[in-house]
Chains A and B, each alone.
Chain A
Amino acid sequence: MTCGSPSFSRRLVLQGAGSVALVGLGFGTVPAVAAANDKYPEDAFRQKGDADAIKALYGKTAEASDKVKLDAPEIAENGAVVPIAVATALTAVTSISFLVSENPNALAAFYVIPEGTVPAVANRLKMAKTCNVIAIVESAGKLYSATKEVKVTVGGCGG
Chain B
Amino acid sequence: MASTIRVRATVSGDTTEVQALIQHPMDSGFVKDAQGQIIPAHFIQQLTFEHGGRTVFLANWGAAVSKDPYVKFSFKGGAKGDDLKINWMDNKGATDSTTAKIS
Q: How many A-B residue pairs have CB under 8 A?
A: 150
Complex: chain A residue closest to B77, CB-CB? A116
Interface digits, A102-142 against B, CB 8 Å rule (1 contact, 0 not)? 01110111111110111011111111000000000000000
B84 → chain A closest CB, angstroms: 13
Let me know if B60 and A41 touch, CB within 8 A: yes
**Total contacting residues, chain B, CB less than 8 A:** 42
Which residue of B has the minimal Cβ distance to A113? B57
With both chains docked as a complex, state the minimum distance between the C-beta of A134 and any C-beta of chain B, in angstroms: 13
**Interface residue count on the A side (C-beta < 8 Å):** 51
Q: List 17 A-B contacts (CB under 8 A).
A: A10-B39, A12-B31, A24-B91, A38-B58, A40-B45, A45-B62, A80-B67, A105-B62, A108-B64, A109-B60, A117-B74, A118-B15, A121-B71, A123-B70, A125-B66, A158-B31, A159-B64
- Which residues of B from 6 to 42 have beta carbons under 8 Å from A? 15, 26, 28-34, 36, 38-41
Judging by beta carbons under 8 Å apart, are A111 and B31 in contact? no
Verify B59–A116 contact, CB threshold 8 A: no
List A contacts of B15 (CB < 8 A). Answer: 118
Write out the residue numbers on chain A whose beta carbons fall within 8 Å of the beta carbon of B57.
111-114, 117
Q: Which residues of B contact A107 (CB under 8 A)?
A: 62, 64
